[in-house]
Structure 1
Amino acid sequence: MVFRSKEQMRKALIKYGLLTFRSINFMKSEEGRIRAKCGWPGCPWTIYGAYSSRCSRFQVITYEDQHECGPNRDNHLVTAKVIARRYEHILRANPTWKIDSIKATVLKDFFADVSTSKCKAAKKIVSEKLLAGLKDEYTKVFDYQLELLRSNPGSTILVGLNPEYMDQNIFQSFYVCFNAMKKGFKACRRVIGLDGCFFKGACQGELLCAIGRDANNQMYPVAWAVVEKETSESWEWFVGLLIKDLDINDQGEGWVFISDQQKGLINAMQNYVPKAQHRMCARHIYANWKKKFREHALQKKFWAIAKAANREDFMYRKAKLAQDTSEGARDIMRTEPKHWARAFFSCWVPL
């Protein structure tokens, strides 16, 4: 057998060890020689190769192709790099792949018991490789912006850069509002839901969304943005662009915005659309309230308060709750009822 180089011969021996489930030990050798033997004590399998000047290749000089051992589950050839290379496609698709599942899969495919630290190292190798590829993708964000503007004339596509490192063009935010969405929203009710969520996986940051309701009462995406964090600055930036795209005038009068209790978003509402009705999700308010008041009977009374049709009914339901827990009745008033209680909503319907 002849190989182009010592490294090629070494890789071939490693592949042989992985396929036959045997541990191959490489003995100390010089630059022009390579010697390996079976890792099982007493096994005669051995191979010796050296550089041949006659053919300018690495040639096998001695080869004892006889094993007197069985497959070895303690195979040091199954390294973290080998695991990462073999299961990279799975780890890319499922970054949360459990360590125990990885160990079981490696045992099945390589007949090798691997440690938890080795599996974690393999996951780290794949994630770092994926992250390096994602960093390269950010260099194409301006090309992506231009392509969106070319294929969707009239859209608002903005790329925000970190102001502290303007000379380095470090990505900070990305805003999208397609022209078709702007035009289509004119036929929808003037009700917009605002919310944000974290990115899962290698990418960090948060996704901010503005969602409306169409004529079929289905979700209608209006605009979205990628930001570094969900802060007052990021929400003000997003809301400021949104009201320009939707041509919201008169400080938001006649509009309804629905959101959670995120402080940055509340500040943005007060600064940009102070006359708009700002309603909050009662389910989020109840989720926070439930942390202290867990009884099932109290749950029914909370929703009875939230759904009360008028203020008299609201006060009556609140008094009924106070009979069971006065602290709970006080606690639900920490958020102004005009934001979450039906009894305090205005009577006009946004068109």
Structure 2
Amino acid sequence: MLKAKYANGLPGPRAVDIPAIVLDELKVSITYMKAWYAREAAIIKTRGSDECGYKLLAVYLHLLKKGNPGTIYRLEYTGGGVAPKQFKYLFFAIGACIAGIKHMRKVVLVDGTVIKNKFKGVLIAASMQDANFQVFPIAFAMVDAENDLAWTWFFRQLSMIVPNSKDLVLVSDRHKSIYIGVHNVYPQAFHGACAVHIVRNVRAKFHGEGISNLMGKAARAFNFGDFDDSFKEIALRNKKCAAYLDAIPREH
């Protein structure tokens, strides 16, 4: 009964909602655990298991490259030989995205987000911006965590399509591992901290009327005078916030 609800990429009902669906359609009461196991079985039958998905990853990437000329990918795993292979890192950039890089502004934004499925991990995305201020994705990666090894590995792969140069700008949040990766792979590029992330941190850490707005205004100032005016106002309203921002180098 549930299989059709998860087919064709549909998210389907949550386990907590299934007892009510079964009661309505079959007039039978079931426990939450039975609903949870039924949901898992329905998903596996319609989409396959996560384990099978990882096994098919190499085939999928090969077909992706064959169907999209110019696509590059790097799939790394541990084990091999006698030991079973286990997924470690994945990087891919589709050919059409690589071809479009030469038309973009030379500013690359990178960020990672936590994957909440069975095997966890982090999804990393790199994007640029075109002349019409539209977001243009250029590369993606899956790694185990946001650590020094993973970020350095990602930047090494990214450098194959966006080489290190003095006129390149990289923008990210202030994660220490990102700074280490940029230092190792992109020593010539300028590295800036994302104002949106800093504004969110200020809003979360320091309570005060309009402080986060002043922070955004300071970050986007085009001259030292405007920057100092906004920064002095922040210091007057919240000294702890001013100290927090003072710890960030001005060029960032």
After TM superposition, the score normalised by the length of structure 2 is: 0.85
Q: Decide which of 202, 215, 233 is 1:320's aligned counterpart.
A: 233
The change in CA–CA distance for 1:120 and 1:141 in structure 2 (over 3 A counts) is closer
1:290 to 2:203 alignment? yes
Assess, with a 3 A threshold, how the Cα gap between structure 1 residues 294 and 131 changes in structure 2: closer, same or farther.
farther
Structure possessing the higher radius of gyration over alpha carbons: 1
- The amino acid across from 2:20 in the alignment is A
Q: Cα deviations across residues 283-303 of structure 1 (Å, max 9, x unaligned)? A: 211211222322233233222
Q: Is residue 148–residue 157 contact of structure 1 (8 Å, CA) maintained in 2?
A: no
CA distance in structure 1 between the aligned counterparts of 2:124 and 2:155, rounded to whole angstroms: 10
Within 5 Å, give how 1:34-183 maps onto structure 2.
86-90=1-5, 93-94=10-11, 97=14, 99=16, 101-126=17-42, 133-162=49-78, 165-167=79-81, 168-183=84-99
Identity of counterpart residues, as a percentage? 25
**CA RMSD between the two structures:** 2.6
Other structure's SS at 1:237 match: helix
Give the corresponding residue for 2:161: 245
- In the alignment, does 2:123 pair up with 1:210? no
Q: State the one-letter code of the partner of 2:250.
A: P
Render the CA deviation track for 1:267-286: whole Å, top value 9, x for unaligned: 11111112311122212112
TM-aligned CA deviation for residue 132 of structure 1: 6.1
| CA shift digits 1:105-139 (9 cap, x unpaired) | 12211223333343334345446767963322333
* Separation in structure 2 between the aligned mates of residue 316 and residue 181 of structure 1, nearest angstrom: 41
Shift in alpha-carbon separation, 1:111–1:196, aligned structure 2, 3 A = same
1:227 deviates by 2.0
Aligned match for 1:194, one of 110, 119, 131: 110
Q: Which residue of 2 aligns with 1:29?
A: none
Following superposition, the deviation at residue 96 of structure 1 comes to 6.2
Residue 257 of structure 1 is aligned with which of 170, 187, 194? Answer: 170
- Relative distance call for 1:151 and 1:122 in structure 2 (3 A) is closer
Partner of 2:147: 231
1:332 partnered with 2:245: yes
CA distance in 1, matches of 2:110, 2:194: 10
Question: 2:222 matched to 1:222?
Answer: no
Q: Which has the bigger relative contact order, CA under 8 A and spacing at least 6?
A: 2
Distance 1:274 1:123, change over 3 A: same
Deviations 1:3-23 (A, max 9, x none): xxxxxxxxxxxxxxxxxxxxx
Distance 2:15 2:57 in 1: 33
The 1-side partners of 2:19 and 2:70 are apart by 53
Change over 3 Å in CA distance of 1:190–1:115 after alignment to 2: same
**TM-score, normalising length from structure 1?**
0.63
**1:3-59 deviation digits (Å, cap 9, x = unpaired):** xxxxxxxxxxxxxxxxxxxxxxxxxxxxxxxxxxxxxxxxxxxxxxxxxxxxxxxxx
Q: CA deviation at 1:184?
A: 2.2
Distance 1:204 1:130 in 2: 22
* Cα drift, residue 158 of structure 1: 1.6
Residue of structure 2 equivalent to 1:73: none
Residue 101 of structure 2: aligned partner: 185
The CA deviation at 1:259 is 1.2
| Residues 303, 151 of structure 1: alpha-carbon distance in 2 compared, 3 angstrom cutoff | closer
Match of 2:222 among 290, 298, 309: 309
SS in 2 for 1:211: strand
What amino acid maps onto 2:243 in structure 1?
R
Per the alignment, in what secondary structure is the counterpart of residue 186 of structure 1?
Answer: helix
Q: How many pairs does the alignment contain?
A: 248
**Distance in 1, Cα, partners of 2:152 & 2:145:** 12
Cα deviations across residues 224-256 of structure 1 (Å, max 9, x unaligned)?
Answer: 12222222211111111111223x24xx31111
The amino acid that maps onto 1:297 is G
- Separation of aligned partners in 2, 1:301 and 1:146: 49
- The aligned residue for residue 278 of structure 1 is 191
CA distance in 2, matches of 1:322, 1:226: 40
| Preserved contact between residue 259 and residue 280 of structure 1 (Cα < 8 Å) | yes
